[in-house]
């Protein structure tokens, strides 16, 4: 094995806030599982645009097609039709939280072992992946990819063999995983297993209709595929679905500190999803109302940056009494800006994606609502386009607190040295981005906007409170992760 450090620590792109991945699985009495899964992935495309894959069960064999690109690109033309008709399928859309963006790292991962085979789809980030990989290699397992998801699939297969049972093996494997994970595992004997980590960092929900059951990262995918939302998978719960119904469910691990990523409500999730009992639309609307209470400004109109800023803008407008207007026309055929490989292309993409509606903003003092500021480049461009369209003033309001820390649980936030809020005051940021005023929502108000959810929240990217193992400081977590990864890499390099 090479001694190059990058063999263990993959370089990542940090041009904009990077999203999660999405998982979807279905067990149905019809042979339409591949098509249902494809539709589910389309509904979840906002969570990952770098790769997509679908695995289906044909007899006791698992057939999988996956590649880099959008779901519609990976399954264009006759490719989807070539997947065999099946009653069971699992799919994934990917953003590369770990590992390079290559076909070998795209999910689902299919793992064959002595007594069977599984296909695994994973959303999240495993902190001890390199430790587990080193141990599995010692036990004779081989790896072809660089993502933690391959480690998870191999670990599950390893534990199934040891335990002699799918549910017991998956539970044993899940107890060994440290970090954030929502998993869907399809087995060669027709089971669909859904697992959520004990702290509930990532969402996962179950839906049903008269043909069977589906599991998805967000309820919007269940709606889109004709399934009625049944319930969320609870933190630390394992659910076994077979022949379109729940055969078993149990809590495999308890945890006192529940910590759903609060940025699911701010940005990641679609507005029409419900996560842990709270409508994403309602949460964002409440954020806007809180911003109006804490950062009101005399203005003529309120508008939001599509898409995640729109609901908060409506809340701000209703609470402030200011008119709500459509400030931008969005080109929905342009990919998210961080997909573009060069900075010049990313800057052009901002202008291509959002075109100001001059008749709505010209000559007016505008309150502009957006979900976040990472480096400040994108919002500066948006403010500049509004002023070029004739806006007299632009007062920016942000529905998340300032980003000050990285995330180790599946959200790729830029290095702390590049986060503008770590280097500049609010007033300095305002001057850099060209806003006439700038206001962020406070942590307390953000929590209040999401108070109907059934979990506590991880707010580590804002305040260092990760809700993780007694809520250690960011310095403690970072030091622990780096030391463990270094030791595991050295162990692998010695092989």
| 303 flagged as catalytic | no
Among residues 272, 8, 215, the alpha carbon closest in space to that of 91 is found at: 215
The residue annotated as part of the active site, out of 8, 21, 205, 489, is 21
Are 194 and 183 in contact by the 8 Å Cβ rule? The answer is: yes
In angstroms, the CA 130 to CA 118 distance is: 21
Half-sphere exposure (CA, 13 Å, Cβ side) for 250? 10
Close Cβ partners of 189 (under 8 Å, ≥ 6 residues apart): 60, 116, 166
Cβ-based neighbours of 58, under 8 Å, separated by 6 or more:
84, 86
State both tokens at 265.
């409500």
Residue 93 · residue 52 · CB < 8 Å: yes
Catalytic residues, by residue number, are 21
């Amino acid at each position: 094995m090479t001694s190059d450090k990058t063999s263990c620590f993959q370089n990542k792109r940090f041009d904009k806030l990077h999203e999660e991945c999405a998982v979807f699985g279905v067990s149905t009495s019809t042979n339409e599982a591949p098509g249902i899964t494809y539709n589910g992935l389309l509904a979840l495309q906002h969570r990952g645009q770098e790769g997509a894959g679908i695995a289906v069960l044909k007899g006791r064999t698992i057939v999988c097609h996956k590649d880099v690109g959008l779901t519609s690109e990976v399954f264009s033309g006759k490719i989807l039709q070539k997947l065999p008709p099946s009653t069971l399928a699992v799919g994934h859309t990917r953003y590369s939280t770990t590992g390079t963006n290559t076909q070998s790292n795209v999910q689902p991962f299919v793992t064959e072992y002595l007594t069977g085979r599984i296909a695994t789809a994973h959303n999240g980030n495993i902190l001890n992946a390199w430790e587990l990989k080193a141990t599995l290699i010692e036990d004779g397992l081989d790896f072809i990819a660089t993502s933690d998801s391959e480690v998870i699939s191999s670990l599950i297969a390893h534990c199934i063999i040891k335990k002699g049972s799918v549910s017991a093996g998956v539970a044993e494997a899940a107890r060994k995983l440290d970090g954030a994970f929502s998993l869907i595992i399809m087995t060669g004997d027709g089971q669909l297993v859904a697992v959520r980590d004990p702290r509930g960092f990532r969402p996962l929900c179950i839906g049903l209709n008269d043909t069977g059951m589906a599991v998805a990262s967000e309820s919007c995918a269940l709606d889109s595929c004709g399934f009625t939302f049944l319930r969320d998978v609870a933190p630390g719960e394992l659910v076994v679905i077979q022949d379109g119904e729940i055969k078993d469910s149990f809590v495999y691990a308890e945890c006192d500190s529940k910590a759903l990523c609060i940025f699911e409500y701010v940005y990641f999730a679609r507005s029409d999803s419900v996560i842990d009992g709270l409508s994403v639309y309602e949460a964002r609307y409440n954020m806007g109302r809180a911003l109006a209470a804490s950062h009101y400004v005399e203005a003529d109109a309120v508008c939001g940056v599509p898409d995640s800023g729109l609901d908060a803008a409506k809340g701000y407008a209703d609470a402030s009494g200011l008119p709500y207007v459509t400030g931008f026309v969005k080109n929905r055929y342009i990919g998210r800006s961080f997909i573009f490989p060069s900075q010049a292309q990313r800057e052009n993409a901002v202008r291509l994606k959002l075109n100001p509606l001059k008749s709505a903003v010209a000559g007016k003092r505008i309150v502009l609502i957006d979900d976040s500021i990472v480096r400040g480049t994108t919002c500066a461009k948006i403010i500049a386009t509004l002023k070029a369209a004739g806006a007299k003033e632009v007062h920016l309001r942000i529905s998340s607190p300032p980003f000050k820390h990285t995330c180790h649980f599946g959200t790729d936030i830029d290095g702390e040295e590049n986060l503008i809020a770590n280097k500049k005051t609010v007033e300095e940021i305002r001057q850099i981005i060209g806003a006439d005023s700038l206001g962020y929502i406070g942590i307390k108000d953000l929590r209040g906007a999401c108070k109907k959810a059934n979990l506590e929240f991880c707010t580590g990217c804002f305040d260092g409170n990760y809700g993780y193992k007694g809520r250690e400081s960011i310095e403690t977590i970072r030091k622990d992760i780096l030391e463990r990864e270094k030791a595991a890499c050295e162990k692998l390099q010695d092989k």
